[in-house]
Amino acid sequence: MTVTGRGWVESLAAIRAARPCAGPNLGFLRQLEEFENTELAEYRAWWMEQYGKNSFNDEEEVQNLLNKKSNSSLSSSSSSSASANIPQALGTGHT
């Protein structure tokens, strides 16, 4: 999340595209959501200041994984609230 500029939902989707067995628990997903909402911008700024431009193509790789995931499954419309995405991120489909 810090390096690519993606949020937790997209980051988890990319991880699942690469490793379908990935299944973080609800507590971890809430921590990711909280990190995105509170500290992520600060860490991104620190990362850029400390390391500069990322010489690896992480953003491109994540986009390729997201494209792979969207091509392999039917996408459902997502809610604007990150908390509403937790069941979807868990793969339960329950709200």
Q: What is the mean pLDDT of residues 69-86?
A: 59
- Over the stretch 28-61, which tens digit does the pLDDT of each residue have? 999 999 999 999 999 999 999 999 887 788 888 8
Q: For residue 80, is pLDDT > 50?
A: no
pLDDT at 82 (0 to 100): 55
Query: Checking phi first, is residue 76 left (phi over 0); if not, alpha (psi -120 to 50) or beta?
Result: beta
Both ends of the chain: CA-CA distance in Å? Answer: 24
- The pLDDT, as a whole number, for residue 3 is 87
Q: Which residue has the tokens 């709200």?
A: 95
Cβ-in-10-Å burial (0-12, 13-18, 19+) of 8 comes to buried
Global pTM value: 0.66
Confidence (pLDDT) at 52: 87
